[in-house]
Amino acid sequence: MVLALSLSALSSTALAHSGSLRGDTSGLAIPTWLFLATGGGVVGASFLLSSFATDRRLVSAIHGWRRRLSAAPPALTSLGSVVGGLAVAFVVVVGLTGPEDGTRNAAIYVVWVLWWAGALICAYLVGDVWSVVDPFRALARRLPTLDVSYPERLGAWPSAVGLLALVFVEVVTPLADDPRLLAGVVLAYTVGTLAGAATFGPERWFSSVDPVARTFAQYGRVAPIGRGDDGGLSLRLPGMALAEPPADARLDAVGFVVAVVWATSFDGLVTTPAWADLVGRLTELGVPALATYVLGLAGGYLLFLGTYLVAARIARRTSDTYLTTAALARRFAPALLVIAAGYHLAHYLPYLLSLWPALVATVGGSLGGALAAVTGGSASGVGSVPRAVLPGWVGSVSLSFVLLGHLLAVWVAHAAAFETFPERVAALRSQIPITAAMVVYTVVGLWIVAEPSVTPPGVGP
Amino acid sequence: MPPGEDPAICPHCGRQFPRERAVTLHVGLDHTEAASDEAVEAFQAAYRDERTELRRFQLLALAVLVVLYFGFLFAFAIVG
């Protein structure tokens, strides 16, 4: 890939929401409705095609393919969390003492480019790297705990709420641009997480409450490398871990997966002109902008969740089964993670590629400045921050990631259905409403992607 | 479980199904070692019989695929 390095200043709002996937629609040669219909049609067609893969031996061979990997030595995992701890410390220090301009501050790049884009991409393409590097978990495990019993009824719902809250904060505050605020939030997160883990026990906290750890863990299940049943590492085909029968029929896991899907969509939704229009109209009627954002986030989430649960309910009828709606919903929800991963990759890979020179430059500048301060020399500081300009075809490649995500999701759901139903026709028929829900999510996601990108109104700096 | 139903029950694990055929297939798939020889034979017969139903589903799927294909072909031709 030929990248042209250009020295240009980044506009601060573009920093968080930029991605060469958006705003490309002036280049779209077909009307939006056809673009959306094609996306939906591809998902539907892939379900229809999957109905030709009905040989159980083939499906279980693909699903069950495994290779054991040698486990990483414990020293490496400890080193990982030390690196993570240093990175967090770096973010806090540079966030508080570095340049106030977000586009020049390394903390912003480390958090949004290296971690939220880079590490998350690693999580679903390779494996859950955060579980190795997470310093909060490593620290929490070494601290004493109160072991207060966690209310079982809550399950993983707090992490779903937490994830939505995180996205909300990122959208309505200048968290993506203001290094001081970012450092403050990281500190608050540290305190809150350690306190929570000390209260309920780290394993419980990080699996059910901490949205960050759970997001990485869930995305990690899309990846080929993961924890096998025996605790060692195993290699499997991408997404196949998601077709494993779940341990329970609880809806909290469904709630979290839908939160992941909605969080990605909402992040894009608030930068559409249609949203700006809505906020404008409601503000005129006297509704505060912030309230619109809250209602949009919560309302959209409930709509997405409702769509999926209705689909599961219809699946109960089309497959003619005694399994409950909740059990069906739980069974097929993991497939949605692949769709979310596809969108994340499409949006954040170009983002990562265009901003990694800036990451390197600002981190280098900070470390150079620190070194100079320690040795008494002088550092030049960060000059103009370079950014890579990506060639035009990156947008099309990104769109193909969305497509691949959907194709894989349909296959994962197909494999899961075959695992669940002894009758193959019932398995196929169960997928009709599930595929329909996926089509709905696809159309919404593609519409957001097709709209030009504007600054979210009423919030921000 | 809706009331008034008469479920077919798996003799190995007690799981309930709406139809006898579902139990036969389930026993063959999930209780392969514990199944008797007749059960395995019944499973294989049921697995083969499923194919007629599957073929009907696949034919319908193919028809919808063809309609989708030509529909999009025309849409792109008219619009593009």
Helices A289-319 and A273-284: crossing angle in degrees, nearest 10, is 120
Secondary structure of residue B16 in the 3-state scheme: strand
Query: In this model, does residue A232 exceed pLDDT 80?
Result: no
Average confidence (pLDDT) over A357-376: 84
Q: Is residue A84 part of a domain?
A: yes
Q: Is residue A267 part of a domain?
A: yes
3-state secondary structure A24-56: CHHHCCCCHHHHHHHHHHHHHHHHHHHCCCCCH
Query: In this model, does residue A380 exceed pLDDT 80?
Result: no
Yes or no: say if A452 and A24 are a contact pair by the CB < 8 Å rule.
Answer: no
Q: How far apart are CA A51 and CA A414, in angstroms?
A: 8
Whether residue B65 and residue A45 make contact (CB cut-off 8 A), yes or no, is yes
Q: Is residue A348 part of a domain?
A: yes
Whether residue B64 and residue A41 make contact (CB cut-off 8 A), yes or no, is no
**C-alpha pair distances (Å), A430 with each of A325, B16, B59, B77:** 11, 17, 17, 34
Q: What is the DSSP string of A92-110?
A: HHHHHHS-SSGGG-HHHHI
Smallest CA-to-CA distance from A352 within A111, A66, A51 is with: A111
> Phi-psi category of A320—alpha, beta or left, where left has phi over 0 and alpha has psi -120 to 50?
left
Q: Is residue A159 part of a domain?
A: yes
Query: In this model, does residue A98 exceed pLDDT 80?
Result: yes
Smallest CA-to-CA distance from A219 within A329, A303, A119 is with: A119
Q: How far apart are CA A87 and CA B77, in angstroms?
A: 54
Q: Is residue A461 part of a domain?
A: no
Secondary structure of residue A72 in the 3-state scheme: coil
**C-alpha pair distances (Å), A30 with each of A49, A166, A404, B71:** 26, 36, 21, 15
Query: In this model, does residue B26 exceed pLDDT 80?
Result: yes
Q: pLDDT tier at A229 (50, 70, 90 boundaries)?
A: low
User: Which pLDDT belongs to residue A25?
Assistant: 46
Query: In this model, does residue A302 exceed pLDDT 90?
Result: yes
On chain A, the residues whose CB falls within 8 A of the CB of B68 are 41, 44-45, 48
Q: Which domain holds residue A28?
A: 4-450
Whether residue A45 and residue B80 make contact (CB cut-off 8 A), yes or no, is no
Q: For A240-268, what is each residue's pLDDT tens digit?
A: 888 888 888 889 999 999 999 999 889 88
Q: What is the DSSP string of A148-187?
A: PPP-GGGTTHHHHHHHHHHHHHHHHSGGGT-HHHHHHHHH
Q: Is residue A455 part of a domain?
A: no
Q: How far apart are CA A411 and CA A401, in angstroms?
A: 15
Q: Is residue A165 part of a domain?
A: yes
Mean pLDDT check: name the lowest of A177-181, A379-383, A442-446, B14-18: A379-383
Q: Which of A425, A428, A435 is best to mutate for the B interface (most B CBs within 10 A)?
A: A425
Residues contacting A249, CB < 8 A, separation 6+ = A324, A326, A327, A330
Q: For A175-228, what is each residue's pLDDT tens digit?
A: 888 999 999 999 999 999 999 999 998 888 998 999 999 999 999 999 998 877
Q: pLDDT tier at A409 (50, 70, 90 boundaries)?
A: very high
End-to-end, the C-alpha distance of chain B in Å comes to 52
User: Which pLDDT belongs to residue A13?
Assistant: 34
Secondary structure of residue A235 in the 3-state scheme: strand
What percent of chain A has a predicted confidence (pLDDT) above 70? Answer: 91
User: Which pLDDT belongs to residue A31?
Assistant: 87
Whether residue B80 and residue A30 make contact (CB cut-off 8 A), yes or no, is yes
What residue type is assigned to position A167 of the chain?
A: V
Beta bridge partners of B17: B8
Chain B residues in contact with chain A using a Cβ-Cβ cutoff of 8 Å: 1, 7, 16-19, 21-23, 25-26, 28-30, 47, 50, 53-54, 57-58, 61-62, 64-65, 68, 72, 75-76, 79-80
User: Which pLDDT belongs to residue A213?
Assistant: 94
Whether residue A322 and residue B58 make contact (CB cut-off 8 A), yes or no, is no
Residues contacting B2, CB < 8 A, separation 6+ = none
Yes or no: say if A344 and A121 are a contact pair by the CB < 8 Å rule.
Answer: yes
Count of domains for chain A:
1
**C-alpha pair distances (Å), A68 with each of A76, A216, A225, A233, A287:** 19, 22, 10, 6, 57
Task: Give, as one character, the DSSP assignment of residue A242.
Answer: G
Six token digits for residue A307: 């769509």
What residue type is assigned to position B45 of the chain?
A: A
Q: Is residue A144 part of a domain?
A: yes
